[in-house]
Structure 1
């Protein structure tokens, strides 16, 4: 099973997940939600899953992005655009790097 799309060391990957976790925590707190409240809103049985994400020990499953975005009062697009550099920086760089193939073709 393909679980890590990043060609980075384990410590680099963990640090990116920790940064994502810090952002998730800040966003949750800005929305005035406790970990329990967010867990309930996103359909997670255990609020400790939220804690694990916020400390970088996991990632949100992609099929749950929309419900998380709604819970954190964001559009799904903005939510994913914020998470992608943390969860899959290689893809993010390919899609959003300056001078992409589409930008060059448009010139």
Structure 2
């Protein structure tokens, strides 16, 4: 975890996030019908115990393997990456998600303006 995140999150918070991330990974692995050994083989990891460590919250998926994990778990690479960021780098996750919220707010504002325009046009047509 980056030092910036460690400065912001307490050790307990960091551990809790890692455990949640591990639980998510385990849920996806089981939904894909894979054992830890099978997942390790599909993502190119020699020792399946590494998967066990990640699922227990004692490790994290290396970023260079995100695509392999997403393919093995049948999750889109973007969704997998964003989920890993949520649990392992929450500050980066928040920064990447903010623009989405801004876009949604602007879309709502545009919808409001379109509705007002429709009402004005209806009045002018009367």
Over residues 21-45 of structure 1, what are the superposed CA-to-partner deviations in whole Å (9 max), with x where a residue is unaligned?
0000000000000000000001111
Q: Stretches of 4+ moved more than 2 A in 1?
A: 2-5, 97-100
Which has the bigger relative contact order, CA under 8 A and spacing at least 6?
1
Counterparts of 1:1-107 in structure 2, within 5 Å, are 3-6=2-5, 7-97=8-98, 98-99=101-102
CA positional deviation for 1:99: 3.9
The runs of 5 or more residues in structure 1 that have no matched partner are none
Which whole-Å CA distance do the structure 2 matches of 1:61 and 1:20 have between them?
13
Count of equivalent residues = 101
The unaligned stretches of length 5 or more in structure 2 are 111-126
RMSD: 1.8
Judge conservation of contact 1:5–1:88 (CA < 8 Å) in 2.
no
Q: Output the CA distance in 1 between the equivalents of 2:19 and 2:25.
A: 10
Change (3 A) 1:70 1:5: farther
**Alpha-carbon distance in structure 1 between the residues aligned to 2:79 and 2:57:** 20
Q: 1:5 to 1:21 in 2, by over 3 A?
A: farther
Change (3 A) 1:74 1:10: same
